[in-house]
């Protein structure tokens, strides 16, 4: 019987071979030279072996147009492509980039910025103050559809123009010469130089951009001014960057080539790292699989860096039972944050008893949390919590705990934390909190509409300043205060902080407001300050996670 | 056909009939010479198929385990034990513990309940809708068939994944949602199977006879035609169950599965895959039992098909 | 025949229209919008954005505009991947999915047919069981387990293949196996059962009695007559497989169209959702249409009725 099968098997084999050759032919046009592995670096004699850096991002950058970028991935790519007036250094402090000098007026509302004259666009045109004026006004123009336009609302009349009531001419930014830019602010903002490093403040090349909204969707139409140029953009697959030979400070740039692949799956990213296909994981450019982080940290292969983000739960302050401060406190105090971190989150996060993360800068060159530590805001104490809980229930006139649900957006990590937190409440307060997850879009809508009892939340910084975590999260008029926490005292403190006489005074008021909101009211439930776990191949230097937890690779080098 | 090789002479049909007679004799001996009804015949044929019976017993085993192990286990599926996470299988936790220190064995069998429930309910809904729709299509034929068939085709051309995801986004993710999402297009296949069967059967003498005696359409469909079409229907059914279990697992992979702390095999696998290199037991057990279940339903379904189809009888 | 094809075509266009309309409505009914983000955008900005994408208009206006553009073959521009046109996104990502899909289809037909033939020819013998067990095991391991396992062992641990990507012919091997394991089992079983039936048919018996060997019989008579259900199944399979697999593409980091499917919905990227739905439906309809025609061509009995061949 077997003998009879020889022929069809042979025939099939031929088919398979023929087919694989066909496939090979099909894919050969796609066969770009894959990133050459480190073969060339050890050629003893050559000192200038080309340096390549490779990493992954989880999704295709939604846009590389500075006016339209909103996400970390775009930001990470853009930091190599464009150069703003300032750039944040490794400590998160702004340093002059295209700007040569930044002068603030006495009242802190007028900035005069002198630009360097040797910066060029990738098409050879000089980078001038007009490019900045054009770029900012373009972002503010309602017809551009810029999501992050509000980042520019610190500038006089910017919001008016964006809302369609004012004109572009009224906006407080003007190029008074080819290399001088004058900016009028609404109110003094000592952190303005930091803001200038944000991607919304990047320049664009007018001739390239004007009337061509699709200019930044393909590699060959992008005109940029940064240390790198975009050589190739295979959508949904990879981006290839090369060193810009015309960059004004090209000696400070060491990488000749940067390959950014788009890989979503964490395990795949990790395996790519281990098989030497990429050089970096972490800080929004891939992440170490949660189950492996502990092992990697213990083996000393991964580093933990704190990130300017806080993980917290929102209480619905308008709804029974969380309209009662004692119940809120009981829920917060019965969470063992350290245990949550050690056993669930597992990336050496720092327990949060406040809202402003430790990597945010504070007054006098110190960190905010050094000057205003949050450790005394409240104590974790299960017995005390139980007592408060019963008092709170009595105040509400409740005999049985109502049905309460914790809402989180669909994700493995959030799920685990939620399960662990709910279990802690079950054990110490004897309450059963249900879990519900919603997919991102739905989740945001529910949260915004206040359709939750407890909701997971996370908040990251746009600029290195505590205002990000106070004004945005606990001010009653903030669009992000979804738990509707409202204390007039906090409101007044925060409003006053905006017009405070000095930066120190302003931060002090913010710290006071934060303390009231957490210590007295527990308007939200802080759990921990994020960290990012990063892994870097041996031999690389200067590739870091910046203060906000985004990969900063631009000034990296390879030994 | 297996004997084609033994001789190339024209008497090769004989051994075949020989075997058949032999087996019938055995059966008749056991049954005390009673003539067999069709169902008995099918049962006997099924029971003589070892692979199919293996499948059957696996299904029974898994169903029994899913019911009783969670009842008997000293652990529960939701209590965390953060000091005892990721323990390999040991005397207290036979399948080890997961990343929140929960007993994997308990969760595996709780998950079995969910997965089997999803599979069975989805299959049942497919069956009911499919029989009604397909029965009507097949029996009436003509214009009715045309219109109903077109409708089914349109429904079937909607990208399935799109429907499921849209639904899961609109409704809260839950068991009910998953089952509804699976049933929206799931029944169509069954309807077509039933339709094909009914079309073949409706002109058989007994159906015509019943019709000429004045029986109504519904009576003919459900009393005469469906029972006779039961073979392919049952086979499709046994194959629907594993499909539904698969779909649930796939939805869990997309994060659209059941709500925690309830686990299904799908959510456990999704979770376990990520930890597979260092805590393999978290993947091994749910994946193993899921695969076993799928395997069992498939071989059982195959055996059932063989048993129903007298043409395949040797 | 021409009438048959024409009728099918008109029906396809009509169902496509229904589908587009239904998707449009359903998509707009789901909560969330393409414009929201975790950081509540300023109200002014929000309004500008809505106006920019025409989302401030009543639904019927949006629908009318979309249909008008669609008639001109314009699928619009993605709302999330800024200023990438939807048709380009689909065209770019379809390539890898198509290549991988074809590879999986050919593999599953070949392997499936071999297994099915072996099983049928040795019906109720050990080889039958072995072939079927192999097939069913392939079917019983879900791709969400199989794909990571293949990747972990064959690529990561043992280094036979690349972990991710589709840059060289060898890169196709693992995703193809992961993608084909289910269809292989299905085809093998389908072929087995039809072939067993066919092998019992009179004309085969006649052939046998003429003294033809098993292989000749299978090749010359049985295979052709057993292929009908496989061809029908292929019609369905092809559409499913060449439009990409979310799971496989995610795990092997393949820039295919499958991942847009889920992502577009999660992002509420309306134009992309519509574009992908239309594209998918067209592929599905065309492949089924071709399968129908193939069916008619293979089986002359169907030519007259032209109906569905549901067995």
**Domain identity same for C24 and C122:** no
CB-neighbour burial class of residue A357 (10 A; exposed 0-12, middle 13-18, buried 19+): buried
Chain C residues with CB inside 8 Å of A484's CB?
Answer: none
Chain C residues with CB inside 8 Å of A10's CB?
Answer: none
**Domain identity same for C103 and C152:** yes
B206: number of Cβ within 10 Å:
12
For A192, A478, C264, the CA distances from C43, given in Å and listed in that order, are 23, 11, 25
For B74, B207, B222, B225, C111, the CA distances from B216, given in Å and listed in that order, are 57, 11, 10, 12, 48
Q: What is the pTM of this model?
A: 0.85
Let me know the angle formed at the C-alpha of A522 by A518 and A523, rounded to the nearest 5 degrees: 100
Give dist(CA B158, CA B167) in Å, integer: 13
Query: Measured between CA atoms, how close is B260 to chain C, in angstroms?
Result: 19
At residue B285, does pLDDT exceed 90?
A: yes
**Measured between CB atoms, does B35 come within 8 Å of chain C?**
no
B243-263 pLDDT, tens digit each: 888 888 888 777 777 766 778
The pLDDT of residue B18: 54
**What's the mean pLDDT in A37-62?**
69
Interface contact flag, B255 A339, Cβ < 8 Å: no
Chains with ≥3 Cβ pairs under 8 A against B?
A, C
At residue A20, does pLDDT exceed 70?
A: no
Query: Measured between CA atoms, how close is C227 to chain B, in angstroms?
Result: 18
At residue B146, does pLDDT exceed 90?
A: no
A321-373 pLDDT, tens digit each: 999 999 999 999 999 999 999 988 888 999 999 999 998 988 888 899 999 99
Best mutation site among A295, A343, A446 for testing chain B: the one with the most B CBs within 10 Å? A343
Nearest to C19 among B157, B283, B302 (CB): B157
**Domain identity same for C231 and C167:** yes
Which is higher by pLDDT, B296 or B85?
A: B296
Q: Is residue C260 part of a domain?
A: no
**Between A and C, how many residue pairs show a Cβ–Cβ distance under 8 A?**
196
The pLDDT of residue C202: 74
Interface contact flag, B255 A411, Cβ < 8 Å: yes
Query: Measured between CA atoms, how close is C43 to chain A, in angstroms?
Result: 9
Of the candidate ranges B121-130, B202-211, C63-72, the one whose mean pLDDT is the lowest: B202-211
Nearest to A343 among B85, B172, B261 (CB): B85
**Between B and C, how many residue pairs show a Cβ–Cβ distance under 8 A?**
159
Closest Cα partner for B188 from A499, A112, A371, C236? C236
Chain A residues with CB inside 8 Å of C82's CB?
Answer: 62-63, 65, 68, 216-217
Give dist(CA B244, CA B123) in Å, integer: 8
Q: Is residue C250 part of a domain?
A: yes
Considering just the CA atoms, what is the radius of gyration of chain B in Å? 24
Interface contact flag, C197 B311, Cβ < 8 Å: yes
**DSSP β-bridge partners for residue A533:** A304
Q: Is residue C269 part of a domain?
A: no
Interface contact flag, B270 A412, Cβ < 8 Å: yes
Give dist(CA A126, CA A119) in Å, integer: 6
**Domain identity same for C40 and C116:** no
Chain B residues with CB inside 8 Å of A274's CB?
Answer: none
Distance of CA A284 to the CA centre of its chain: 7
Cα-based torsion angle of the residue sequence C151, C152, C158, C164 in order, rounded to the nearest 10 degrees: 40
CB-neighbour burial class of residue B50 (10 A; exposed 0-12, middle 13-18, buried 19+): exposed
Angle formed by the axes of helices C223-242 and C173-199, nearest 10°: 150
The pLDDT of residue B174: 77
The pLDDT of residue A10: 45
**Domain identity same for C38 and C163:** no
Chain B residues with CB inside 8 Å of C261's CB?
Answer: 159, 161-162, 165
Chain A residues with CB inside 8 Å of B79's CB?
Answer: 423
Which is higher by pLDDT, B207 or A160?
A: A160
Query: Measured between CA atoms, how close is A412 to chain B, in angstroms?
Result: 8
Q: What range defines the domain where residue C56 resides?
A: 11-71
**What's the mean pLDDT in A418-444?**
89
**What's the mean pLDDT in A182-201?**
91
Q: Which of residues 44-63 of C touch A (CB under 8 A)?
A: 44-45, 47-49, 51-53
Chain B residues with CB inside 8 Å of C185's CB?
Answer: 298
Residue B39 binned pLDDT confidence (cut-offs 50, 70, 90): confident
Distance of CA B155 to the CA centre of its chain: 22
Reduced to 3 DSSP states, what percent helix, strand and coil does chain A have, rounded to the nearest 5?
Answer: 40, 20, 40
Closest Cα partner for C278 from B229, A83, B157? B157
At residue B69, does pLDDT exceed 70?
A: yes
Interface contact flag, B274 A438, Cβ < 8 Å: no
Which is higher by pLDDT, C53 or A99?
A: A99
User: How is residue C114 written in tokens?
Assistant: 């071999």
CATH code for position C120: 1.10.3720.10
User: How is residue A488 written in tokens?
Assistant: 């007039």
**Domain identity same for C150 and C216:** yes
**Domain identity same for C62 and C122:** no
A264-321 pLDDT, tens digit each: 888 999 999 999 999 999 999 998 988 889 899 999 999 999 999 999 999 999 998 9
Q: Is residue C238 part of a domain?
A: yes
The pLDDT of residue A2: 36
**Measured between CB atoms, does C225 come within 8 Å of chain A?**
no
The pLDDT of residue A59: 86
The pLDDT of residue C29: 82
Residue B35 binned pLDDT confidence (cut-offs 50, 70, 90): low
Query: Measured between CA atoms, how close is A548 to chain C, in angstroms?
Result: 15
Give dist(CA C194, CA C198) in Å, integer: 6
Query: Measured between CA atoms, how close is B270 to chain C, in angstroms?
Result: 7
Among the candidates C205, C239, C255, a domain finishes at C255
For chain C, the domain total comes to 2
The pLDDT of residue A84: 95
Closest Cα partner for B190 from B233, B160, B139, B250? B233
Query: Measured between CA atoms, how close is A452 to chain B, in angstroms?
Result: 13
Query: Measured between CA atoms, how close is C310 to chain B, in angstroms?
Result: 5
Q: Which of residues 187-226 of C touch B (CB under 8 A)?
A: 189, 193, 196-197, 199-200, 205, 208-209, 211, 213-214, 217
Least CA distance to B272: which residue of chain C?
C145
Which is higher by pLDDT, B295 or C239?
A: B295
Among the candidates C255, C277, C299, a domain finishes at C255
The pLDDT of residue A339: 92
**Measured between CB atoms, does B168 come within 8 Å of chain A?**
yes
Chains with ≥3 Cβ pairs under 8 A against A?
B, C
**DSSP β-bridge partners for residue A101:** A114
A220-237 pLDDT, tens digit each: 999 999 999 999 999 989
**What's the mean pLDDT in B1-8?**
40
Please state the ipTM of this predicted complex.
0.87
Q: Which of residues 417-436 of A touch B (CB under 8 A)?
A: 418-420, 422-423, 435-436
A223 within 8 A of A66, measured Cβ to Cβ: no
Chain A residues with CB inside 8 Å of C191's CB?
Answer: none
Query: Measured between CA atoms, how close is C72 to chain A, in angstroms?
Result: 20
**Domain identity same for C103 and C190:** yes
Residue A44 binned pLDDT confidence (cut-offs 50, 70, 90): very low
Buried b (16+ CB within 10 A) or exposed e, A274-298: eeebbbbbbbbbbbbbbbbbbebbe
Chain B residues with CB inside 8 Å of A271's CB?
Answer: none
Residues of chain C predicted below pLDDT 70: 1, 38-41, 212-213, 244, 298-311
Residue B29 binned pLDDT confidence (cut-offs 50, 70, 90): very low
The pLDDT of residue A14: 46
Q: Is residue C85 part of a domain?
A: no
Q: Is residue C77 part of a domain?
A: no
**Domain identity same for C27 and C102:** no
**Domain identity same for C111 and C249:** yes
In percent, the amount of chain B with pLDDT more than 70 equals 85
Interface contact flag, B82 A415, Cβ < 8 Å: no
Closest Cα partner for C152 from B244, A27, B273, B294? B273
Task: Report cis status (omega within 30 of 0) of the bond before C262.
Answer: no
Least CA distance to C210: which residue of chain B?
B10
Kindly state the DSSP code that residue A34 receives in the 8-state scheme: P
Chain A residues with CB inside 8 Å of B78's CB?
Answer: 419, 423
**Measured between CB atoms, does B149 come within 8 Å of chain C?**
yes
The pLDDT of residue B14: 55
Considering just the CA atoms, what is the radius of gyration of chain A in Å? 27
Closest Cα partner for C137 from B61, B46, B288, B117? B288
Which is higher by pLDDT, A239 or A42?
A: A239
Interface contact flag, C132 B8, Cβ < 8 Å: no
Interface contact flag, C129 B51, Cβ < 8 Å: yes
Chain A residues with CB inside 8 Å of B271's CB?
Answer: 412
**Domain identity same for C168 and C65:** no
For each of the domains in chain B, give its residue range(s) and CATH number, in order of start: 38-73+93-312 (1.10.3720.10)
User: How is residue C311 written in tokens?
Assistant: 């067995």
The pLDDT of residue A40: 38
Best mutation site among A145, A213, A472 for testing chain C: the one with the most C CBs within 10 Å? A145
Nearest to A147 among C41, C77, C152 (CB): C41
Q: Is residue C279 part of a domain?
A: no
At residue B30, does pLDDT exceed 50?
A: no
Residue B36 binned pLDDT confidence (cut-offs 50, 70, 90): low
Residue B234 binned pLDDT confidence (cut-offs 50, 70, 90): confident
Chain A residues with CB inside 8 Å of C110's CB?
Answer: 12, 15-16
**Measured between CB atoms, does A266 come within 8 Å of chain B?**
yes
Interface contact flag, A436 B5, Cβ < 8 Å: no
The pLDDT of residue B5: 42
**Domain identity same for C26 and C126:** no
């Amino acid at each position: 019987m077997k003998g009879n099968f020889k022929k069809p098997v042979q025939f099939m084999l031929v088919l398979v071979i023929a087919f694989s050759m066909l496939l090979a032919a099909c894919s050969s046009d796609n066969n770009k030279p894959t990133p050459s592995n480190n073969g060339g670096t050890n050629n003893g004699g050559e000192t200038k072996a080309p340096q390549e850096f490779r990493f992954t991002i989880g999704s295709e950058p939604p846009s590389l147009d500075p006016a339209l970028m909103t996400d970390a991935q775009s930001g990470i790519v853009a930091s190599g492509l464009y150069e703003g007036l300032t750039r944040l250094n490794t400590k998160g402090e702004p340093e002059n980039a295209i700007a040569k000098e930044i002068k603030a007026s006495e009242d802190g509302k007028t900035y005069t910025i002198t630009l360097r004259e040797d910066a060029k666009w990738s098409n050879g045109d000089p980078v001038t103050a007009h490019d900045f004026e054009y770029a900012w006004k373009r972002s503010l123009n309602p017809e551009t559809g810029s999501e992050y336009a509000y980042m520019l609302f610190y500038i006089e009349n910017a919001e008016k123009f964006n809302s369609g009531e004012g004109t572009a001419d009224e906006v407080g930014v003007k190029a008074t010469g080819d290399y001088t830019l004058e900016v009028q602010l609404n109110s003094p903002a000592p952190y303005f130089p930091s803001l200038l490093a944000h991607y919304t403040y990047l320049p664009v090349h007018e001739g390239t951009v004007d009337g061509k909204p699709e200019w930044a969707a393909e590699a060959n139409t992008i005109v940029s001014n940064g240390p790198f140029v975009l050589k190739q953009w295979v959508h949904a697959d990879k981006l290839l960057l090369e060193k810009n030979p015309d960059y004004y400070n090209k000696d400070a740039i060491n990488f000749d080539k940067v390959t950014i692949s788009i890989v979503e799956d964490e395990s795949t990213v990790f395996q790519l790292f281990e098989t030497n296909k990429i050089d970096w994981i972490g800080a929004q450019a891939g992440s170490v699989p949660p189950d492996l982080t502990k092992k990697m940290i213990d083996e000393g292969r991964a580093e933990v860096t704190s990130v300017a983000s806080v993980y917290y739960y929102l209480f619905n302050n308008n709804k029974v039972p969380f309209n009662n401060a004692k119940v809120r406190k009981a829920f917060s105090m019965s969470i063992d944050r350290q245990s949550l971190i050690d056993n669930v989150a597992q990336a050496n996060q720092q327990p949060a008893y406040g809202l402003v993360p430790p990597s945010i800068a504070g007054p006098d060159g110190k960190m905010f949390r050094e000057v205003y530590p949050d450790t005394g805001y409240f104590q974790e104490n299960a017995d005390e919590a139980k007592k408060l809980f019963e008092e709170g229930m009595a105040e509400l006139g409740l005999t049985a705990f109502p049905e309460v649900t914790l809402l989180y957006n669909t994700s493995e990590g959030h799920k685990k934390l939620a399960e662990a937190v709910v279990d802690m409440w079950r054990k110490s307060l004897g309450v059963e909190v249900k879990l519900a997850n919603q997919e991102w879009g739905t989740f945001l809508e529910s949260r915004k509409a206040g359709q939750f009892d407890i909701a997971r939340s996370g908040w990251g910084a746009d600029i290195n300043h505590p205002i990000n975590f106070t004004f945005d999260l606990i001010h009653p008029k903030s669009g992000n205060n979804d738990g509707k926490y409202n204390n007039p005292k906090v409101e007044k403190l925060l409003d006053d902080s905006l017009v405070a006489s000095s930066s120190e005074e302003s931060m002090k008021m913010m710290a006071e407001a934060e303390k009231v909101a957490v210590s007295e009211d527990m308007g939200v439930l802080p759990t921990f300050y994020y960290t990012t776990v990063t892994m870097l191949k041996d031999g690389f230097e200067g590739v870091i996670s910046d203060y906000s937890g985004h990969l900063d690779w631009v000034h990296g080098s390879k030994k | 056909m297996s004997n084609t090789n033994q001789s190339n002479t024209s008497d090769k049909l004989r051994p075949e009939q020989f075997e058949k007679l032999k087996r019938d004799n055995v059966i008749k001996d056991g049954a005390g010479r009673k003539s067999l009804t069709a169902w008995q015949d099918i049962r006997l044929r099924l029971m003589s198929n070892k692979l199919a019976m293996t499948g059957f017993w696996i299904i029974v085993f898994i169903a029994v385990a899913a019911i009783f192990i969670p009842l008997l286990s000293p652990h529960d599926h939701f209590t965390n034990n953060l000091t005892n996470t990721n323990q390999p299988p040991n005397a207290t936790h036979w399948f080890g513990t997961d990343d929140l220190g929960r007993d994997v064995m308990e969760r595996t069998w709780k998950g079995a309940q969910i997965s089997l429930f999803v599979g069975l309910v989805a299959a049942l809904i497919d069956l009911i809708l499919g029989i009604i729709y397909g029965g009507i299509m097949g029996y009436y034929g003509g214009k009715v068939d045309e219109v109903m068939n077109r409708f089914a085709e349109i429904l079937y051309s909607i990208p399935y994944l799109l429907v499921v995801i849209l639904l899961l986004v609109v409704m809260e993710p839950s068991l009910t949602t998953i089952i509804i999402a699976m049933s929206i297009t799931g029944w169509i296949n069954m309807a077509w199977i039933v339709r094909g069967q009914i079309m073949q059967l409706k002109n058989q003498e007994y159906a015509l006879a019943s019709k000429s005696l004045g029986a109504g359409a519904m009576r003919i469909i459900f009393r005469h035609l469906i029972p006779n079409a039961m073979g392919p229907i049952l086979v499709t059914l046994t194959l629907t169950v594993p499909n539904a279990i698969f779909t649930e697992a796939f939805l869990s992979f997309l994060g659209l599965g059941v709500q925690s702390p309830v686990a299904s095999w799908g959510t456990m696998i999704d979770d376990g895959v990520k930890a597979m290199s260092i805590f393999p037991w978290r993947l091994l057990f749910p994946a193993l039992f899921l695969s076993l279940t799928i395997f069992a339903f498939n071989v059982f379904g195959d055996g059932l098909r063989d048993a129903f189809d007298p043409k395949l009888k040797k | 025949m021409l009438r048959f094809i024409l009728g099918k075509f008109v029906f396809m266009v009509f169902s496509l229209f229904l589908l587009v309309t239904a998707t449009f409505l359903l998509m707009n009914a789901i909560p969330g919008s393409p414009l929201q983000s975790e950081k509540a955008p300023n109200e002014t900005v929000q309004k500008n954005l809505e106006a920019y994408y025409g989302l401030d208009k009543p639904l019927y206006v949006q629908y009318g505009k979309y249909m008008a553009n669609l008639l001109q073959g314009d699928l619009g521009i993605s709302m999330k991947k800024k200023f990438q046109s939807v048709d380009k996104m689909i065209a770019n990502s379809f390539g890898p999915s198509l290549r991988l899909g074809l590879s999986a289809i050919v593999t599953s037909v070949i392997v499936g047919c071999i297994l099915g033939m072996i099983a049928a020819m040795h019906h109720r013998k050990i080889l039958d069981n072995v072939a079927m067990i192999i097939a069913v095991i392939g079917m019983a391991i879900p791709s969400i387990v199989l794909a990571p396992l293949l990747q972990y062992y064959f690529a990561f641990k043992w280094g036979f293949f690349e972990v991710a990507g589709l840059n060289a012919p060898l890169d196709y091997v693992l995703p193809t196996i992961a993608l084909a394991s289910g269809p292989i089992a299905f085809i093998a079983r389908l072929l087995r059962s039809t072939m067993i039936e066919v092998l019992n048919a009179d004309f085969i018996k006649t052939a046998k009695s003429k003294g033809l060997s098993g292989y000749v019989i299978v090749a010359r008579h049985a295979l052709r007559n057993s292929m009908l259900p496989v061809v029908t199944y292929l019609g369905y399979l092809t559409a499913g497989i060449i439009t990409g697999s979310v799971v496989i593409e995610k795990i092997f980091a393949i820039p295919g169209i499958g991942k847009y499917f889920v992502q577009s919905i999660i992002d509420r990227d309306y134009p992309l959702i519509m574009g992908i739905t239309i594209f998918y439906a067209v592929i599905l309809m065309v492949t089924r249409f071709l399968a129908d025609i193939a069916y008619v061509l293979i089986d002359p009995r169907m030519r007259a009725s032209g109906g569905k061949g549901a067995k």
